[in-house]
Structure 1
Amino acid sequence: MAILIDPPLWPAHGTLFSHLVSDASLDELRSFALEQGLPERAFDRDHYDVPQNHYETLVAAGALPVSATELVRRLVCSGLRVPARERPERLDAVLLARWDRLLPGEPQLGRELLARWSEPHRAYHDRAHLLAILSALDTLTGSNEQNPAHRALYLAAWYHDAVYNGVPSDERDSAALAAAQLPGAGLEHAEVGEVVRLVELTIEHSPDSGDTAGQLLCDADLEVLGREAGAYRRYVLSVRREYAHVPDPVFAAGRASILRKLLESESLYSSPLARSLWENQARTNLAAEVERLERPEPA
């Protein structure tokens, strides 16, 4: 693990700025920044912006000076790089536009749901996760939320983690929220019931073989498992931050048990397209994570 800093090349506020990153852990980065007295407002999702007059001090404290190109390369390889499309200033506009296409005339409901997905305690189950599921559904359906046949499916994606407190009742509470809100948005009883049913399927991710909509939603929710290794690593770190209150040994044992059960399944995905796109990479990612979790601590 290393703390990296690039040269002060980036102009802003009458000075030049460097970027301070970790190539392994955001916790490591934040601990180093705290020790050096950097303000929390200088943190921007995957790095700290530090003014030129701090550069030499940070290098003397242990930050490794590298070129801007090398810093970005190692940040990307670490899986900690937050793509531009996942930054809040992009996400809000994109998601609200998608909501408006899905349920025109209900902007307040869309903003309320987006506020839920933006709660500060969320590290993985956040707006980026919501957009990822919507995008995965686009891939799997060959369509988008403007297709009337898929409206319940996309609404279920918006609601499936609308309530998230890290407890077993989250999915059922999310389904109950959909049942309470959607009739007021003009949906018929049958369509509301389908949204509720789909949201509740994400509890176990075990749709029936003939349940096409259920398969699509569950596969989209698990798309993250099949991402390339760096992006998968960022997902793992985000999940760990959501369970920061759980001691490392307890978390590692529980997480490894869950992943081993997934690996024992005949297939992680239900639909043929999802299997062809993500299955092999997902199994590689899960096996590598289990190995890391079960690796003995160095003496």
Structure 2
Amino acid sequence: MAILIDPPAWPAHGTLWSHLISDAGYDELHAFARRLGLPRRSFDLDHYDVPASLYEAAVAQSARPVTAKDVVHALRGSGLRVRQAERETVAPLRRRQYLRAEWSGLGALVGIGRTRQAENDWHRLGEHLLTRWNEPHRSYHDERHLEDVLLALDHLATRGERLSPATLLAAWFHDAVYTGAAGDDAGSDELASAHLAAGSLAALSIDAALTSQVGEFIVATTPAREVRDPAAPLAHLLDADLSIFASSPHRYQQYSLAVRAEYAHVADPDFAAGRSRILSGYLQQPAIYRTATAQQLWERRARENVSAEFEGLLQVVTAEGAGSGVRRAAEAE
């Protein structure tokens, strides 16, 4: 078994990147990446993208320097290569593997008993949550969002943030109930998710204080809810929940279209007006993110993405206002 890395030669985000692979299996690769301090979101189905700044460290930790061709040949020879045509099929499988592994690890972290019954109960709860996250009416608030939140928390951890079990549990439950309620019912999904967490965790004899904290964290994720000076565990969750704002332009467009799809029943002008008010609230804050680490990682790109969407929505609102004026003038005649 060997970990291989090619020279940093692929330009992106102002630096050059290498490919880090294993010629034997992904478990070995993930373990090496953790030791190197790479966030899990650097994993791209069959390899990790490694910035040039970490190339020498990877080699120092026993990664074998090879050529780019050697990397491709090794992936092919091991059967681990994911071809471009396979990516769309493989991505959701990798996502589900990651989520199940994270849930299993979380069980150990919160002290789930080692009896077969306790392990089975924890497993069933995880599968139940994944079923909820994959309900057919969801477009954005699905298991990809759950994965994004967990990956963002992992990214914060690689930068030295200490994650609380309450934060991780709240991440799993925070949109477990999702109906897309708005208006007078806004916040009902978060309350229902908190209620689900309380009942589910109590049934597994999870510490009552921890369970209560999880519920409080979930309610705090209600959009536009004012949360002043949260302690680090809640700040981590709030920052991770909004990490999508700092995604690539392509991923951000996917996100904004998915949000629109969840409100397909709302007319364009009304959606644009409501959505622009929410985004404006974030832009008016001194910082979108609560922790210094998240601000360093995501603030600039998040403001660029949110500002661009806000400007587009504002054009819809302005056009509708002008159109309404024309219609009123015509009716007056």
Measured against the shorter chain, the TM-score band is 0.5 to 0.7
CA apart distance, 1:92: 2.1
- What residue identity is the alignment partner of 1:115? T
8 Å CA contact retained: 1:85, 1:91 = no
CA distance 1:210–1:158, shift in 2 (3 Å): closer
SS for the counterpart of 2:164 is helix
Partner of 2:198: 179
Change in Cα spacing, 1:112 to 1:275, as seen in structure 2 (3 Å) is same
Identity %: 40
Counterpart of 2:218 (choices 199, 221, 227) is 199
Mapping 1:1-299, distance limit 5 Å: 84=88, 87-104=91-108, 105=119, 106-142=122-158, 150-167=164-181, 168=186, 169-203=188-222, 204=224, 206-209=226-229, 211-295=231-315
Count residues with an aligned counterpart: 215
Give CA-to-partner distance per residue, 1:100-144, whole Å, 9 cap, x none.
Answer: 111151100000000000000000000000011001111112399
From the superposition, tell whether residues 140 and 238 of structure 1 become closer, same or farther in structure 2 (CA, over 3 Å): same
Q: Deviations over 1:52-90 (max 9, x none)?
A: xxxxxxxxxxxxxxxxxxxxxxxxxxxxxx975984333
Cα 1:127–1:85 change in 2 (3 A) is farther
What's the offset of the Cα at 1:293? 1.2
Q: How many angstroms does 1:287 deviate by?
A: 1.2
After superposition, the Cα gap between the structure-2 partners of 1:253 and 1:86, relative to the gap in structure 1 and judged at 3 Å, is farther
The answer to whether the 8 Å contact 2:104/2:123 transfers is: yes
1:229 deviates by 1.4
SS in 2 for 1:100: helix
Go from structure 1 to structure 2 and tell me whether the alpha carbon gap of 1:222 and 1:266 turns closer, same or farther (over 3 Å shift): same
Say if 1:210 and 1:176 are closer, same or farther in 2 by CA, change over 3 A: closer
Residue 210 of structure 1, CA deviation: 5.2
Considering fraction of residues, name the structure with more helix.
2
Structure 1 stretches of 4+ moved >6 Å:
none
Q: Structure 1 residues 176 and 207 mapped into 2: Cα distance closer, same or farther (>3 Å)? A: same
Is the 8 Å Cα contact of residues 207 and 214 (structure 1) preserved in structure 2? no
Q: Which runs of 5+ in 1 are unaligned?
A: 1-81
CA distance, structure 1, for counterparts of residue 170 and residue 90 of structure 2: 21
Which of 1 and 2 has greater Rg? 2
**CA 1:85–1:95 in structure 2 vs 1: closer, same or farther (change >3 Å)?**
farther
Q: How far apart in 1 are the matches of 2:143 and 2:278? A: 24
Stretches of structure 2 lacking an aligned partner (at least 5 in a row): 1-85, 109-118, 324-333
TM-score by length of 2: 0.60
Q: Distance in 1 between matches of 2:198 and 2:307?
A: 38
